[in-house]
């Protein structure tokens, strides 16, 4: 699909930053909670997304990979709102699309970047051969 990590990096970074912006806009401006400080709620919602941001900005494959665990929280939130709240379905649909796109871009970027850096898991058959050779000596 994509030949190198340099093709995927702008997509992965852009979709992640777009999700941060969307979550901040949704909870802080577009549909703030009526009984709570909207800025505080927006900060609480974007705080988990800021944890891997430095590694994502630096283009680290490992950070892109584990950031997907955080994205799953937003994926589940969007699915829940789609099911429960008719009034905010369009907001949740955008969050779901951004989260899904960011997830896919992060997976492919981490894979390609890891391959380019020589990182990766050995095939099971190779591990078995190495263990067999080590114990036969």
**Interval 41-62 mean pLDDT:** 94
Position 122 confidence tier, pLDDT thresholds 50, 70, 90: low
User: Residue 2 in 3-state DSSP?
Assistant: coil
Among all chains, which residue has been given the structure tokens 């800025």?
39
- Position 107 scores a pLDDT of 94
Distance from C-alpha of 93 to C-alpha of 83, rounded to nearest angstrom: 11
Position 21 confidence tier, pLDDT thresholds 50, 70, 90: very high
> Under 8 Å CB-to-CB from 39, ≥6 apart: which residues?
28
Whether 54 contacts 4, CB under 8 Å: no
Q: Is the pTM of this model over 0.85?
A: no
| pLDDT of 8 over the 80 cut | yes
Distance from C-alpha of 82 to C-alpha of 43, rounded to nearest angstrom: 22
Burial 18-29 (b: 16+ CB within 10 A, else e): ebbebbbebbbe
């Amino acid at each position: 699909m994509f030949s190198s990590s340099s093709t995927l990096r702008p997509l992965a970074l852009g979709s992640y930053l777009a999700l941060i912006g969307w979550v901040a806009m949704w909870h802080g401006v577009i549909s703030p909670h009526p009984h709570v400080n909207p800025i505080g709620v927006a900060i609480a919602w974007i705080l988990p997304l800021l944890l891997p941001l430095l590694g994502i900005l630096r283009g680290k494959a490992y950070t892109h990979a584990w950031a997907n665990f955080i994205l799953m929280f937003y994926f589940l939130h969007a699915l829940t709102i789609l099911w429960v709240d008719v009034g905010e379905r369009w907001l949740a649909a955008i969050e779901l699309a951004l989260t899904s796109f960011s997830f896919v871009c992060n997976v492919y970027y981490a894979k390609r970047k890891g391959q380019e850096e020589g990182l990766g898991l050995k095939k099971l058959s190779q591990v078995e051969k190495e263990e067999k050779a080590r114990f036969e000596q």
